[in-house]
Structure 1
Amino acid sequence: MTSFQTLTVLVPAYNEAEVIDAFHRRLATVLDGLTLDSRVLYVDDGSRDDTWARIVALAAVDARVRALRLSRNFGKEAAMTAGLDHVDSDALVVIDADLQDPPELIPALLQRAADGFDVVYATRARRDGETWFKKLTSASFYRAMERLSNTPVPRDTGDFRLMNRRAVQAVNALRERQRFMKGLFAWIGYRQASLVYDRDARNAGTTKWNYWRLANLAIEGVTSFSTAPLRVASWTGLAAALLSFAYAAWVFVKALIWGDPVRGYPTLMVVILFLGGAQLLAIGLIGEYVGRTYAETKRRPLYYVEDRQGDLPLPPHE
């Protein structure tokens, strides 16, 4: 099927005890049908339920299973980074454990990669089990990123993808602390291709991505790969200044020619509130970028590993 000899399936998991057994059964069936030397690497991102215990049980009955348990919940981006750091195979597939992304698509990803692509990302044509509002906000985010970022992030594409060894090594070289993995996957370039599929509804459990976390991820993505918000603040300030000068000139001319008294108070309040709001918006945007710079200068580790299952290569920084 491909020139790959080894394959690792990376599965970040956070509180997925209800679904992880069903996920592994389907994944194992897929791997049984491949001729590759396959492994599964679960990364437990500080789960509070029985996710780690179930992963350990899976490792006891399936020799292909390897696992990392992070010392706390560092977030999915850090969990994926931990998995990428501990992979040494010709091909890597990143997939969530909630069964929204079907493991049965892995052979198709491998087949697409056989055409000479370094990265094959899965693009969602349909998203079952999600509200219209979530679909709308998601589509709006990807299209906004397409316009704002100098790095083209594929539309309607999550983390489900295949990468070869070269692509994995390239991503691992990017050690920034504020991580937006979809953008990093795109930023490395190389030969990338899309595979369109229909995304299923979650098999069990509840999503960990509420609107607050999604909004924060969107801000992370925009500020990681675009300075457009700063330019918007600059243009807003310029437009406000021009409007203020134009209005001031009109008031002066009106008073000079017609002798109208300058009533002042309502107009003054509108101008002050408008300019104050624009200034606070600009300060907030600048604060986002300053905060990111501050976080990078501290150079804290991206994650800590509390426990391991199976033989895993040590990343260079350990």
Structure 2
Amino acid sequence: MNALVENWRLEPQRDRQAELSVVIPLYNEHEVITLMHARLTAVLAGLDMPYELVLVDDGSRDGTPNTMHQLAQADPSVTAVFLSRNFGKEAALTAGLAHAAGEAVIIMDADLQDPPELIPHMLRAWKDGADVVCMRRRSRAGESWFKRYSAHGFYRLLNAISDVDIPADTGDFRLLSRKAVDALNRLNERNRYMKGLFAWIGLPTTVIEYDRKPRAAGVTKWDYLSLFNLAFEGITSFSTAPLRLAMAGGLLTAFFGVLFTLWIVAKALVLGDPVQGYPSLICMITILGGVQLLSIGLLGEYVGKTYYETKQRPVYLVRQVVSQGRTASPTANAHAGTATAANEPYASYK
């Protein structure tokens, strides 16, 4: 029974019967979505367990919404969630987890770089007692050497400065138990770095290694600037080390400034060497100004995060949910997709 109930505003995941949910965020993936659905359902059909596919459209501008709508009407296992605009992948994942009904929830991308054929192995680890099954990328086919090595270095840097142990070389491809999903749905922060949140809940975790494949179709939507922003989001969301480094840099700069001052005084008093005023002054101003601006920028990043958290805006807004050929659209009220401590993933606004 995957039919969408009329009052889907309140915990829609409790109104469907599914032992396994597969959550897939989508953004401009029209070229691959049909292939992904066929390959994924071929794997899931052989599991002998009720399942559902929760497809989340993150404000796509190509044919993705139309294809999702058709799949939701033709396949009773598909629930299509349409966000009101592009909120970002982390918000789309949050929306998908809020709508997932299964006792086990698998997150994967639509590009088929993460093979659906590995799902039985993930389920086996879950049945053996793991609440989180992380898929660690042993190799990354179809990606440039710069992307591979920068990702390798980033995960180790994040682990070195973070307060939680975030598994290295793991993306969003993973399995979460119902206990883990409920724990994540209770985290209502707005600045969400999901890989860190997956690790923060601290439930028993199993790691399985696999070889990542090239994209089945289409092109990646992640350029290097987007990846840098995501990496910076992860660092500032799970560590205050940059602030400490800025403070250490300030102390070190001040220390060398004092030594430089003493050296100038010694040369003037003991050796009678005239002070080289203009060049040294410009160098000191440039160095101190750069350190100050860097420190202010880091501080502003953390203050800005606090600013957005205090606004208490929802993580995402749902425009429409389609399942079993039926459609629910917000009319008098739209719906805000934010998980609260009361475990009510939707709030209304006017």
In the alignment, the residues of structure 2 paired with residue 52 and residue 316 of structure 1 have an alpha-carbon distance, to the nearest angstrom, of 23
Amino acid at match of 1:230: L
Determine if contact 2:131/2:205 at 8 Å carries over to the other structure: yes
Structure-1 residue corresponding to 2:49: 36
Instruction: Give 1:267 shift.
Output: 1.1
When normalised by structure 2's length, the TM-score is 0.88
In the alignment, the residues of structure 1 paired with residue 91 and residue 151 of structure 2 have an alpha-carbon distance, to the nearest angstrom, of 21
In the alignment, the residues of structure 2 paired with residue 260 and residue 254 of structure 1 have an alpha-carbon distance, to the nearest angstrom, of 5
Q: Which runs of 5+ in 2 are unaligned?
A: 1-17, 329-336, 338-343
Q: Which runs of 5+ in 1 are unaligned?
A: none
Alignment partner of 1:136 is 2:149: yes
Instruction: Give 1:114 shift.
Output: 1.8
In the alignment, the residues of structure 1 paired with residue 121 and residue 75 of structure 2 have an alpha-carbon distance, to the nearest angstrom, of 24
Alignment partner of 1:61 is 2:74: yes
Report matched runs for 1:1-318 at 5 Å.
6-310=19-323, 315-318=344-347
Amino acid at match of 2:180: A
Instruction: Give 1:317 shift.
Output: 2.7
In the alignment, the residues of structure 2 paired with residue 73 and residue 187 of structure 1 have an alpha-carbon distance, to the nearest angstrom, of 26
Amino acid at match of 2:208: L
Q: Deviations over 1:154-212 (max 9, x none)?
A: 11100000000000001111110011000000000010111100000011111011011
Please state whether the residue corresponding to 1:124 is helix, strand or coil.
Answer: strand
Amino acid at match of 2:233: E
In angstroms, what is the RMSD of aligned CA positions?
1.4
Amino acid at match of 2:26: A
In the alignment, the residues of structure 1 paired with residue 322 and residue 120 of structure 2 have an alpha-carbon distance, to the nearest angstrom, of 26
Instruction: Give 1:135 shift.
Output: 0.8
In the alignment, the residues of structure 2 paired with residue 220 and residue 247 of structure 1 have an alpha-carbon distance, to the nearest angstrom, of 37
Amino acid at match of 2:195: K
Q: Deviations over 1:7-41 (max 9, x none)?
A: 00001000001000000111001111102111101
Percentage of pairs with the same residue: 53
Figure out how many residues of one structure are paired with residues of the other and give that number: 314
In the alignment, the residues of structure 2 paired with residue 74 and residue 316 of structure 1 have an alpha-carbon distance, to the nearest angstrom, of 16
